[in-house]
Structure 1
């Protein structure tokens, strides 16, 4: 158990955006929301999964929608508490804890808002070990945990509660509601017992985010390579270093979809790379060959500063390094690949597990 203050948030947000694989929302916006909540309510207690009781009632929170929209339609933070309270009212129980459903710059920070406002501890874990674009793409889904009952809330004070027939329907109906709410909304779903959290969440996510963010900062301050520092913490490997030459991006169906094409600056990592994304980076193709693919992590960092680059901030001329990082082993099972592998997203290539740095 430890207390998280506003001083911890910059490193946490930076590392969360790296693990978010280009998605999960803007880290700066998430950090500001969390800082405001902590200043109003005091520090948040962070607990490990081994510190919670099996009978705990855990209500996760997150933002849903297109990250490109959230750069212009900034959240206030009230959406998160609105969604959490709507779900508590529907279920007739108050949360004893909250947790993030995914790693991401905004979605690893928004649970700090829920924890601070509700006065409950935050669990050091998440449901993916990264970020994915769709609500059913959580490890609890593989364990048979239902996403619904669930609640959504927007900045106008609107809230919607849903009961769905399976987690794929939760995604479809919640996505439609989110589009009507302006392509971004807060969501509270996957209510868990402490036992379910221990069985199905990824432990230590927020601690890992902080370690990654701190490694980048300290490397930069020490005039060392921040990309190598992040890669070392994650057990990843640089697969490309280059300059962004073209970005094609559209916002459709509540997602930011597109491609980015990079020109190589390092002969050792190839001459050209194409990134395909749907909120998150999904596939990296180097000189015509797939080198990293979902469910493994594709993390884009500014080569000089090590700052993570989200898909909504990809732009012409930016010099970046692309890291591949192995995913949680549960995503590599047949069930995990069916839920979030390349075939689900319509790619024809066979998944080949990415090998990180040699130990």
Structure 2
């Protein structure tokens, strides 16, 4: 059933979405601040309606909104806050009909927030679902695309008010290339409105109820800290009651090395974490999101399972652009929703798509 998201929920959602974002999806604090301002300024009630996918009419028009580009760009180039609304309205004009609701394309600190920002500004509801159940770095890497939906047409907007519409038909990979180029020219990051679909398509293709799940996860961490309970235990217990099935700590230590560079609209690199008092080490490889975790040379988790880095005591998620030498962390692994683990899905966002010469092995066997 539908529910209403209020400013009191934003911190929990930001933490939970950043946790599920596998180190990507943008800065959770920036997203939270933008939405809080929009709720205060643009809605009479100070809240946004969140619709369950089952409540959508079959012929509803749902459009995903989000940001794409290198998350590091947002550290230096703050958005105006209006980009997603501009992109959505431009796509409406192109399609010739009004949008019923917006929806995240992915989970992530800022990309779970952008649809809420657009919804507050435009008076729209948000659908409690997304197309990844985590964050991926490329536009075609969605369960929507795996199930045959085109990402085109896409409207792209920047903080200066520039807007472009790109249509590559059913070729989602070529769409990614063109829109990525626009995002680079727009300063490394831009907002998009894409994957226009019906309510029936949402139910057929999306990972359901990820906004409410992220909010529950963030709340579990917050309440664990308030009650002086281990947040990692609470996360594991909460995840067991979701589509993610299970999560657990696979390594603890101190960040001793970060090799990070921004190129082609992505943040790429690796990080090294050493266990305190032993010679054991963990290596992370990322492209916007963490892709693989190796402990002492052995792969312990690999995409599409979710590899995330959390503060060793509080459980606060640390995104790839904010990893830094000396941080005390725990590497936490979450099993991917079943929609991400089919043979068809692995052809779109499995390890080999990212140049990793390994087969996917689930951290938790899919039943």
TM-score class normalised by the smaller sequence: over 0.9
Query: In 2, distance between residues paired with 1:233 and 1:261?
Result: 29
Query: In 2, distance between residues paired with 1:141 and 1:62?
Result: 16
Q: 2:207–2:339: 8 Å Cα contact kept in structure 1?
A: no
Query: In 2, distance between residues paired with 1:106 and 1:161?
Result: 23
Q: 2:104–2:115: 8 Å Cα contact kept in structure 1?
A: yes
- Secondary structure of 1:76's partner? coil
1:206 corresponds, among 180, 199, 211, to 211
Give unpaired runs (5+ residues) of structure 1: none
Equivalence for 1:265: 276
Equivalence for 1:176: 181
| 1:153 partnered with 2:157 | yes
2:350 corresponds, among 341, 351, 357, to 341
Equivalence for 2:258: 247
Give unpaired runs (5+ residues) of structure 2: 240-245
Q: C-alpha displacement at 1:231, in angstroms?
A: 2.9
- Secondary structure of 1:71's partner? helix
Alignment of structure 1 residues 77-88 onto 2, 5 Å: 77-88=81-92
| 1:325 partnered with 2:334 | yes
TM-score normalised by structure 2 residue count: 0.95
* Count of residue correspondences: 356
Equivalence for 2:242: none
Equivalence for 1:307: 316
Q: C-alpha displacement at 1:266, in angstroms?
A: 8.0
Q: C-alpha displacement at 1:329, in angstroms?
A: 1.2
Q: 2:232–2:248: 8 Å Cα contact kept in structure 1?
A: no
User: Deviations 1:13-38 (Å, cap 9, x if unpaired)?
Assistant: 11000000100000000001111111
Equivalence for 1:18: 19
- Secondary structure of 2:91's partner? helix
Query: In 2, distance between residues paired with 1:117 and 1:161?
Result: 21
- Secondary structure of 1:189's partner? strand
- Secondary structure of 2:352's partner? coil
1:45 corresponds, among 30, 49, 73, to 49
Equivalence for 1:189: 194
| 1:127 partnered with 2:131 | yes
RMSD over aligned Cα atoms: 1.5
| 1:5 partnered with 2:6 | yes
Q: C-alpha displacement at 1:232, in angstroms?
A: 2.6
- Secondary structure of 2:102's partner? coil
TM-score normalised by structure 1 residue count: 0.97
1:278 corresponds, among 287, 290, 307, to 287
Equivalence for 1:228: 233
Equivalence for 2:58: 54
